[in-house]
Structure 1
Amino acid sequence: MATPAFEEIAETFEFLDDWEDRYRHVIELGKAMPPLDEAFRVPAFKVDGCASQVWLRPMIDGQGPGARFDFQGDSDAMIVRGLIAVLHALYSGLTLTEVARVDAPAELARLGLNEHLSSQRSNGVRAMVERIRATAAAAA
């Protein structure tokens, strides 16, 4: 299960044969994201387990399991900022129930990220996914 925005990223990755081109595309996705306001760069929104500084600010529209999930995010590392953009495409606009159903490792594997990220970056992505899932579960 993936959003149309994530499907668009996956389709773009299919056309990019070279990992370096994919890497540059991820960075471009990060550059296109609006920056997170400094007021939200606080410990409550900081994601532990990432080698870089990462903040995810959840934004939930509605109440209960049918509420819509969204978030803003930022990082001090350009590639991580791009990975946040990829996760945003994967989860943004889903209901809280749908967030729990997303198989993030399988969806991200479609992009070939697993083979090309360092173990620290992979751990950081896992930490971000866990934060997203826990936030959605708590709000549901």
Structure 2
Amino acid sequence: MDLNELKETFEFIEDWEERYRILIDLGRQLPEFPEAERTEANRVEGCTSNVWLVCRRDETDPQRLIFLADSDAFIVKGLIALVLMAYSGATPEEIQRTDIREVFRQLGLERNLSPNRRDGFFAMVDRIHELAAEAQAA
């Protein structure tokens, strides 16, 4: 599923509990996160739950960045999946131009997530932007 498909799905689902289930299912589909990467250096500050995030260059196209992330909370894993849909596989320039706040609004997340989850979501986004800026400068 990509972001456009997720937006379309959410347009047809009024029940927020069902949307939560979809996010949780997306989180279950995240690629395996390497245990060795669950370090303090890879932990995202500002998240209530534990969230680990790493960035690598795409082996086939080094201009593109691949992000791997994981959490110890099911709904947060779903939010990670959403963030990775928006950013993983993009160039640093594309990442800087992506308006995830608009996607967040379109999905109705600002109305249905707790302030802590919302803050954690944007902490992940901020960390991705930092990593993209570092990759661009390298």
Task: Give the aligned residue type for 2:104.
Answer: L
- Paired with 2:125 and 2:56, the residues of 1 have a C-alpha distance of 15
- Paired with 2:21 and 2:58, the residues of 1 have a C-alpha distance of 32
Q: TM-score, normalised by structure 2?
A: 0.92
Q: Which residue of 2 aligns with 1:95?
A: 91
Matched, 1:125 2:125: no
Task: Give the aligned residue type for 2:22.
Answer: H
Identity of paired residues, percent? 46
Task: Give the aligned residue type for 1:128.
Answer: M
Task: Give the aligned residue type for 2:135.
Answer: A
Matched, 1:26 2:23: yes
Question: In the TM superposition, what is the alpha-carbon distance from 1:59 to its structure 2 partner?
Answer: 1.6
Match of 1:56 among 53, 63, 80: 53
- Paired with 1:108 and 1:130, the residues of 2 have a C-alpha distance of 14
Q: Which residue of 1 aligns with 2:103?
A: 107
Matched, 1:46 2:43: yes
Post-superposition Cα deviations, 1:12-47, rounded to whole Å, max 9, x if no partner, equal 111212111111100000011123111010012100
Q: TM-score, normalised by structure 1?
A: 0.90
CA RMSD in angstroms, aligned pairs only = 1.4
Question: In the TM superposition, what is the alpha-carbon distance from 1:61 to its structure 2 partner?
Answer: 2.7
**SS of residue in 2 equivalent to 1:48:** coil
5+ unaligned residues in a row in structure 1: which ranges? none
Match of 2:71 among 75, 87, 111: 75
5+ unaligned residues in a row in structure 2: which ranges? none
Task: Give the aligned residue type for 2:43.
Answer: K
Match of 1:85 among 78, 81, 85: 81
- Paired with 1:26 and 1:82, the residues of 2 have a C-alpha distance of 4
Match of 1:37 among 34, 46, 50: 34
Q: Which runs of 4+ in 1 moved over 3 A?
A: none
